[in-house]
Structure 1
Amino acid sequence: MTALRRHGPRIAITLLPVLLALAHATGLWRLDAIDRLDHLIYDTRLRATMPGTLDSRIVIVDVDDASLTRQGQWPWARDKLARLTRELTGRQQVAVLGFDVMFVEPDRSSGLDKLRHIARGPLREMPGLAAEIDRLAPTLDNDAAFAAAMQGQRVALGYYFTRTEKPGAKGQLPPAPVLQAEAFPPGRGYATGWNGFGASLPVLAAAAPAAGFLNTLVMSTGDGVIRAVPLIARYEGDRARPGYYESLGLAVYRLASGTPPVRPAFASGGAAPRLQSLLVGGLRVPVNETASMQVPFRGPGGAQGGSFRYVSAGDVLEGRLAPGELKDRIVLVGATAPGLQDLRATPVGAAFPGVEVHANIVSAMLDHRLLAVPDYAPGYEVLSVLAAGLVLALGLSLLPAPRAVVLAIATIAALVGVNAWLYQRHSLVLPLASALAMAALAFAFNMGWGYFVESRARRGLVRLFGTYVPPQLVDEMLVTPGRYSMRAESKHMTVMFCDMRDFTRLSEQMAPAELQTFLNTVFNRLTHVISTHRGTVDKYMGDCVMAFWGAPIDTSDHATLAVRAALEMAEAVRDINKIHRTTGRPEISVGIGINSGVMSVGDMGSAARRSYTVVGDAVNLASRLEGLSVHYGVEIVASGATRELAPGFVWQELDSVLVKGRAQAVAVFTPLGAAAEETEAPTPAALRQSAQLQRWTEVLAAYRRQDWAVGRNLLDPLLAADAKKVLYQLYAQRLASMALRPQDPEWDGATRFETK
């Protein structure tokens, strides 16, 4: 929780891109940049996964530049299209013939209308002329010839829908829509709606068994790129039967499959039913809310694209194909000549033949190679943004920079990997851009905050406290950096002085460089112990180090930490001595004084030199106690105030002392080690120690009531057990000396020290 509080602002700034991405995913605020990125991802992924192989079942008869050069400009006369139809359905025996061409206007190229005008006008007196023209009319009616060529063949014509304020209609739609309006629940539209159309002439519409609309750009996005094409569209005008009509691609597929019925399938749940797919016989075709199918393009498009065979319409008309060369093929007639403007922008090409869009739809349906934008796509987007955002917000804020970079890369890789797996294995088109943009922005915001805000705060704190305070305490201070300054304040703290004994003797035995290395080694070890126990190093004074606990960070257990550090420092010195004994260096010893109390801490000194330090009577007492350690033969001397604040240790009282500069006596103690847990069974050594301390307490009591003989009798067993202990020797001498003097009724039992 401390880390979360410390990094709260950084986590919050990282969550800002998450909120923006969620607003986009839920539709509260659509961002065009993210939509464009999603389109780019979709297009890139589509190009990377295209089969790139030839679909030999579908052939495109192309009205190309060569055809126009040899057969004349477009539009061609309908008798020529009749010959093209007969060649394909008869001599070539194609399975299905689809025209990506519209025949809205009648063909007047034969001149029949002009002949009839002349017969009714200037030459109306010529006998038999009108009758002869009527006799020849069937041979001159190109539309009728084209209709006759289609009669009884599996041919699908093209038409287009329009929507205007004043609906217009030309030609004739198929006699019945592929789906009646009653097949859909009322209350909303389930496809793009239109009120006008431009369709084939009635004579042609009656001859062809099927027709489909050619509208493709209705589903193009803001960038004009065709990614999805409607399979059905809703006509709601009054010039034909209202209902849902099929596209050219669907009409051609149904002709090739035996004209199976089309039925809508809806997603359950939600406030209203949602169109989910179209059932074409046994094939389920996923569609979006406008009944549009994602086009799974096979390749880059065109005669050189390699997806479909292109045959020049001129070659077909001129009989250059061998009989039956296109037998059982699905043939689509379309134009790629630039002047005919039937080129479209698609994800796989900026000038993609419009006829090949329909060819890709038919090919995908034949192969069941269909892409789906599921109705739960918005929910997937929200969950992916939320999951990745929370991982990044916490991980980037709590981890060090190298691991944060790895986490960001791993998160982005996971987002891309899961999305790609769903696309490859299950043909699901799911949004990715919002999650990727969120991850990139979250990383940028997080790293920016870390560098410009937290690093600046860290640099400021390190500049103030870095030479005194352990790095882990600086990290804690960064939680609320405004709380810390060098301003002096009074606080209840614990201070320690640690002095190296016989330093003068050591300095005489070592060269200056060797002495410097030696001191650095010792002080590094001792400083590490102090820092480990959350202490603040105040200063080094020759062979002495001064430290305190409780500032700049408030620490309630400052006395316990100081005592624990002192015990470990004494152990560290013993470890150093073991090494010195093997290397021939002189051994060292230290004296440590500890006191707890109110002291002033802050930035103190002169204008020329200042430092973060502690001052006060409690500090002076700790310095005096450090000097007493050699007198009592112990490494650590602590005041009674420290003992009271650190009850988790085994303490041995040393004396009641009156040091120079103080008017009141102070009880002093030395810690023997950490106290055993109450739940632990006492060891024999612990029992012996407890008994000795109890006897020692009785010795001190006898000593203070001036009962010298009793004190000596109590002390003798302790001396017998540990004759080398300086403390016991000291009191043996005192008891012997005091026994020679008369009792002093004003004696308080305190020992006075007149030197520092």
Structure 2
Amino acid sequence: MANWAGRFFRKSKGGAVLPALGALLIVALLQLVGVPQLERLGLLLFDGYQRAVPRPYEDAPVRIVDIDDESIRRLGQWPWPRTDIADLTRRLGDAGAASIAYDIVFSEPDRTSPGRIAARLQRTNGNSPTLAALRALPDNDATLAAAIAAAPVTLGYFLGREGRGPTVEPKAGLAMAGASPAGAVQAFSSAIEPLPAFRDGASGSGFVSLIGDRDGIIRKAPLIASQNGRLLPSLSLDALRTAQEAGSVIVKSTSASGEFGGGAAQVVSLKVGGFEVPTTPAGELWLYFTAPHPARTIPAWKVLTGAMSPAEMRAAFDGRIVFIGSGAAGLRDLIATPLRDREVGVMVHTQAVEQMILGRYLVRPDWASGLERSLLLALGLILALVLPRLGAMRGAVLGAIAVGGIMAGSWGAFLQYQYLLDPTYPVLGLLAVYVVGTGVTFYREERQRAYIHRAFDRYLSPELVKRIVDDPGQLELGGEVREMTVLFCDIRRFSAISELMGPQEIIRFLIAFLTPMCDILLARKATIDKFIGDAILAFWNAPLDDPDQHANAARGALEMVARLEQMNDVMTAQSATPWPGDVRIGIGLNAGPCCVGNMGSAQRLSYSLIGDTVNLASRLEGLTKYYGVSIVIGAALRQHLPEFAILPLDRVRVVGREAPEQVYALMGSEDLALAPAFRRIEAMHRDMLAAYAAQDWTLARAWIAAAAPHVAQFGLGPLHTLYAERITRFEAQPPGEGWDGVFAAAEK
């Protein structure tokens, strides 16, 4: 047996099996102890599942009355007088609400009560008949307490972990089926409760505290928690109990019905009235969110102002659980959920009750961890044993099939059964086995590759060296046709600048200019082809694929212009590096097919590109001087940048091309495109061009005049001056009916 094992490992290309198995064991140990950062990957994957397939909205008997911005505008700033809250409570009760749950904690007296106003006035005005009249008016808090006592109200309270306060007395007990799971649920020590008068008259009460995962996202709603060892229900759970006029909530733990397997008791499920709710061991409900749905929410002002008729009120609230929360901009109890970064807290309570009523649950089965561990060990062991014999490519295919099967199984379990099965550790185990196995197998080959890198790194770009190492045939002459994005950048008035400097100063200036420009281009995944004096030729999507080539090129060009603005401010004030004042550049960008590869002679190769796309990019750079803008792009690239701030410039027939080209000015990123100021000037500019094309010189001139106060902000003054001069010429010598609006460029 020992001889067989020795022969097997010797045949396994340098004993790659043992290191691969060691990597698998490490991942298995990490899964056993639990690593929060890795577990978060699974949670993020579950978030992606929900975003892809959110819970379909079904009309459950649950509504939200939202204290939104319009309600604040109509009814006054928050907090409203308790008489308004009492009126809201009465109206909902009269409409037949089964439970009225406040995601608001009324923990302090109403300072707008007549008696409290009288006490404040007495300190400044002494006694007066007005004060006596105020004291005789009903107390606002007493009015609200009476309304709460007359309606099925469930009040909220906060639980905290700072200090230790009186233990909350729940409105209904939590009966145990099995041992108490108080040690498994979220534990708190303090509480902020409603005023006693409100608390005594309420039909129910529950905590509203929501604590997200380590990344702050709320994925689970706690249905029970403990304070000073006592189990307490959440607002959503007690609202459901109140709506059914049920007695206690039954908490089923792992020691009930023979389910206890050792260790402290944990929660299995909760029974409230006619509903049994599966939970996590900590008594939480995995939340399965729906997309926002307007039928769920009714603004508070519609209820309080009588905008809804009694029949409409009945239709909206009769027999329903109504949650009241604050969604106004200044009041929002904002939380992050898998579907939305900014969601109001009351939505969590609402959707939790919807799930409990509809029976639509996300479930992480108790056998999930065992299945994930089994997959990790079984598939990892198989891959570790066969990888040395398959080789890197076929091993990668096998690993990819295994990873794809795991991911498909996880996704299918979610779609079909709403099961949450985490593929993180099995996938990580396969990756670890593959990386370690192939790393050991090709250690010697990589040393040889490193030698080639050291020999050529000083002469070629790292990407080209990598390609030569991977495929020495790359040294052959020839190229391939690819869809690419090309950039030409040139310093304006460089001849005049160079006249003011000596040769050494010119070199130092170019180094100071080209270095940050190239840093930007390389950071945006560009390949820098060559420097032509002060000009830069760069391109995207070769030698490596870049699916974001167009956006990378646009952002790179914008960053180059912005960086030069900073350098003009900073470098002019320095004396170490020569800087000729306000340096400007022009950038031409174009996209299209190019032939790229090793060009040159048999004695000297250069990785470069050729084609009409390159020539046009060079002509577009030249047009920046004519139109007075920094970045000019072609029509082909414009189609790939729909979200960027772009203005049409002209239809131009450039030197060397017969077909006219629609050219555009790249003004900024998506943020600028959405700015009101840009959208205003964009509309004016397009209207001006439309009038110009229609030979309506008067209207075109009017649009130029209307845009005049705004053009300086975007550097469009020279462009509109250019069109004004054209219009003057055309007014004197009209172009005629056959005019196609194309400008023929006379210079490159």
SS at match of 2:77: coil
Counterpart Cα distance in 1 of 2:420 and 2:150: 41
Q: Is structure 2 residue 47 aligned with structure 1 residue 49?
A: no
**Aligned counterpart, 1:288:** 280
Closer/same/farther in 2, CA of residues 55 and 455 from structure 1, 3 Å limit = same
**Aligned counterpart, 1:313:** 300
SS at match of 1:293: strand
Amino acid at match of 1:79: T
Within the candidate set 353, 356, 360, 2:351 is matched to 360
Amino acid at match of 2:11: R
**Aligned counterpart, 1:524:** none
Check the 8 A contact 1:381/1:434 in 2, yes or no.
yes
**Aligned counterpart, 1:227:** 219
Check the 8 A contact 1:158/1:214 in 2, yes or no.
yes
| Deviation by residue 1:693-750 (Cα, 9 ceiling, x = unmatched) | xxxxxxxxxxxxxxxxxxxxxxxxxxxxxxxxxxxxxxxxxxxxxxxxxxxxxxxxxx
Counterpart Cα distance in 2 of 1:82 and 1:187: 38
Counterpart Cα distance in 1 of 2:213 and 2:349: 18
**Aligned counterpart, 1:747:** none
Q: Is structure 2 residue 25 aligned with structure 1 residue 6?
A: no
**Aligned counterpart, 2:438:** 447
TM-score by length of 1: 0.53
| Deviation by residue 1:368-408 (Cα, 9 ceiling, x = unmatched) | 11223334443333212111211221232232444323311
**Aligned counterpart, 1:516:** none
Closer/same/farther in 2, CA of residues 11 and 308 from structure 1, 3 Å limit = farther
**Aligned counterpart, 1:81:** 85
Counterpart Cα distance in 1 of 2:73 and 2:131: 37
**Aligned counterpart, 2:697:** none
Closer/same/farther in 2, CA of residues 336 and 291 from structure 1, 3 Å limit = same
Percent of matched pairs sharing the same residue: 32
Q: CA deviation at 1:455?
A: 8.4
**Aligned counterpart, 2:269:** 277
Check the 8 A contact 2:60/2:358 in 1, yes or no.
no
Closer/same/farther in 2, CA of residues 456 and 153 from structure 1, 3 Å limit = same
Counterpart Cα distance in 1 of 2:191 and 2:268: 27
Closer/same/farther in 2, CA of residues 79 and 39 from structure 1, 3 Å limit = same
5 Å-filtered alignment, 1:520-559, equals none
Closer/same/farther in 2, CA of residues 187 and 359 from structure 1, 3 Å limit = closer
Amino acid at match of 2:49: R
Closer/same/farther in 2, CA of residues 128 and 68 from structure 1, 3 Å limit = closer
Closer/same/farther in 2, CA of residues 31 and 163 from structure 1, 3 Å limit = closer
| Unmatched runs of 5 consecutive residues or more in structure 1 | 237-241, 300-304, 459-756
Counterpart Cα distance in 2 of 1:295 and 1:430: 15
Closer/same/farther in 2, CA of residues 190 and 183 from structure 1, 3 Å limit = farther
Q: Is structure 2 residue 230 aligned with structure 1 residue 243?
A: yes
Closer/same/farther in 2, CA of residues 411 and 121 from structure 1, 3 Å limit = closer
Closer/same/farther in 2, CA of residues 188 and 199 from structure 1, 3 Å limit = closer
Counterpart Cα distance in 2 of 1:127 and 1:308: 50
Closer/same/farther in 2, CA of residues 109 and 455 from structure 1, 3 Å limit = closer
Check the 8 A contact 2:81/2:110 in 1, yes or no.
yes
Counterpart Cα distance in 2 of 1:243 and 1:183: 16
Check the 8 A contact 2:184/2:265 in 1, yes or no.
no
5 Å-filtered alignment, 1:1-150, equals 1=4, 2-7=7-12, 9-27=15-33, 30-55=34-59, 57-90=61-94, 92-115=95-118, 136-137=136-137, 139=138, 141-150=139-148
SS at match of 1:339: coil
Closer/same/farther in 2, CA of residues 147 and 127 from structure 1, 3 Å limit = closer
Closer/same/farther in 2, CA of residues 122 and 433 from structure 1, 3 Å limit = same
Closer/same/farther in 2, CA of residues 278 and 258 from structure 1, 3 Å limit = same
Amino acid at match of 1:198: I
Q: CA deviation at 1:457?
A: 11
5 Å-filtered alignment, 1:556-567, equals none
Check the 8 A contact 1:343/1:352 in 2, yes or no.
yes
Closer/same/farther in 2, CA of residues 380 and 280 from structure 1, 3 Å limit = farther
Q: CA deviation at 1:355?
A: 0.7
Q: CA deviation at 1:256?
A: 2.7
Amino acid at match of 1:380: L
Q: CA deviation at 1:213?
A: 0.5
Q: CA deviation at 1:235?
A: 1.7
Q: CA deviation at 1:310?
A: 1.8
**Aligned counterpart, 2:577:** none
Counterpart Cα distance in 2 of 1:221 and 1:406: 36
Check the 8 A contact 1:173/1:200 in 2, yes or no.
no
Q: Is structure 2 residue 178 aligned with structure 1 residue 191?
A: no
Q: Is structure 2 residue 375 aligned with structure 1 residue 384?
A: yes
| Unmatched runs of 5 consecutive residues or more in structure 2 | 450-748
**Aligned counterpart, 2:244:** 257
Closer/same/farther in 2, CA of residues 143 and 127 from structure 1, 3 Å limit = closer
Q: Is structure 2 residue 200 aligned with structure 1 residue 206?
A: yes
**Aligned counterpart, 1:397:** 388
Counterpart Cα distance in 2 of 1:307 and 1:9: 63
Q: CA deviation at 1:280?
A: 2.7
Check the 8 A contact 2:184/2:264 in 1, yes or no.
no
Q: CA deviation at 1:434?
A: 1.5
Amino acid at match of 1:356: M
Q: CA deviation at 1:14?
A: 2.1
Q: CA deviation at 1:153?
A: 1.8
Amino acid at match of 2:158: Y
Check the 8 A contact 2:55/2:290 in 1, yes or no.
yes
**Aligned counterpart, 2:174:** 179
Check the 8 A contact 2:157/2:207 in 1, yes or no.
yes
Q: CA deviation at 1:76?
A: 0.8
5 Å-filtered alignment, 1:478-493, equals none
Closer/same/farther in 2, CA of residues 397 and 123 from structure 1, 3 Å limit = same
Closer/same/farther in 2, CA of residues 244 and 274 from structure 1, 3 Å limit = closer
Q: Is structure 2 residue 365 aligned with structure 1 residue 374?
A: yes
SS at match of 2:24: helix
Closer/same/farther in 2, CA of residues 63 and 282 from structure 1, 3 Å limit = closer
Amino acid at match of 1:347: P
SS at match of 1:53: coil
Closer/same/farther in 2, CA of residues 19 and 318 from structure 1, 3 Å limit = same
Check the 8 A contact 2:275/2:357 in 1, yes or no.
no
Q: CA deviation at 1:453?
A: 4.0
| Deviation by residue 1:43-68 (Cα, 9 ceiling, x = unmatched) | 11122231243535322111111111
Larger Rg: 1
Q: Is structure 2 residue 150 aligned with structure 1 residue 152?
A: yes
Check the 8 A contact 1:107/1:142 in 2, yes or no.
yes
SS at match of 2:150: coil
Closer/same/farther in 2, CA of residues 4 and 360 from structure 1, 3 Å limit = same
Counterpart Cα distance in 2 of 1:273 and 1:119: 59
Counterpart Cα distance in 2 of 1:308 and 1:430: 32
Counterpart Cα distance in 1 of 2:117 and 2:326: 30
**Aligned counterpart, 1:570:** none
SS at match of 1:37: helix
Q: CA deviation at 1:454?
A: 7.1
Check the 8 A contact 1:54/1:307 in 2, yes or no.
no
| Deviation by residue 1:578-633 (Cα, 9 ceiling, x = unmatched) | xxxxxxxxxxxxxxxxxxxxxxxxxxxxxxxxxxxxxxxxxxxxxxxxxxxxxxxx
Check the 8 A contact 1:156/1:251 in 2, yes or no.
yes
**Aligned counterpart, 1:707:** none
Q: CA deviation at 1:350?
A: 0.5
Q: CA deviation at 1:13?
A: 2.5
Amino acid at match of 1:191: V
TM-score by length of 2: 0.54
| Deviation by residue 1:143-183 (Cα, 9 ceiling, x = unmatched) | 11112222232221111111223x245xx944545326x76
Check the 8 A contact 2:266/2:282 in 1, yes or no.
no
Closer/same/farther in 2, CA of residues 188 and 212 from structure 1, 3 Å limit = closer
Check the 8 A contact 2:171/2:203 in 1, yes or no.
no
Counterpart Cα distance in 1 of 2:235 and 2:170: 15
Closer/same/farther in 2, CA of residues 57 and 23 from structure 1, 3 Å limit = same
Aligned length: 436
